[in-house]
Amino acid sequence: GIVGFYKGATPAIQRAALVNLGELTTYDSAKTYIVENMGIGRDDLRCHLLSAFCSGFVASLCSTPADVAKSRIMSQKPAADGSVMYKGTFHCWVKTVNEEGFFALYKGFFPGWFRLAPWQLVFWVTYERLRIVAGLGSFK
């Protein structure tokens, strides 16, 4: 039914929020660090590439536990009595850590990072280059 159509929507939204949290805050922080400590200019392509790399890594660190929960919640089948194994994201995390250990929350980290890294590189470098071409300067 219609409820089944939205099964897993909440963990998917939570995951998206964590990806954005990780990528946006890290890109700006990494860029500032690189400019101040590595002697690379703010408009330098190397700065943008390194910042994007850091951004993708941290976004993956933040979002992988939500990815694990999302996958488990969306794929669970109700028992005969209608009960489900996971009641929500937090419940899934607690149950996963208790039964499989903390690092089970990071199953699929590397494939997730390898999927997110090219997007981060393309997005941030393109964004920075377009700002420079438009005369706006790079993202501060």
Between CA 42 and CA 45 the distance in angstroms is 9
Query: Which of 67, 74, 72 lies closest to 5 in space, CA to CA?
Result: 74
pLDDT at 127: 92
pLDDT at 34: 95
pLDDT at 92: 95
pLDDT at 62: 93
Describe the crossing of helices 45-75 and 89-100 by its angle, rounded to 10 degrees: 90
Looking up tokens 């590439």 gives 49
DSSP 43-93: T-HHHHHHHHHHHHHHHHHHHHHHHHHHHHHHH----TTS--S-SSHHHHH
pLDDT at 136: 87
pLDDT at 5: 74
Query: Which of 31, 30, 55, 50 lies closest to 119 in space, CA to CA?
Result: 55
In order along its 140 residues, the chain shows pLDDT tens digits of 787 777 778 888 988 999 999 999 999 999 999 999 998 998 889 999 999 999 999 999 999 999 999 899 888 888 889 888 998 889 999 999 999 999 999 999 999 999 988 999 999 999 999 988 998 877 76
The 8-class DSSP code of residue 124 comes to H
Count Cβ atoms below 10 Å from residue 33 Cβ, excluding itself.
13
Task: Kindly report the pTM of this predicted structure.
Answer: 0.83
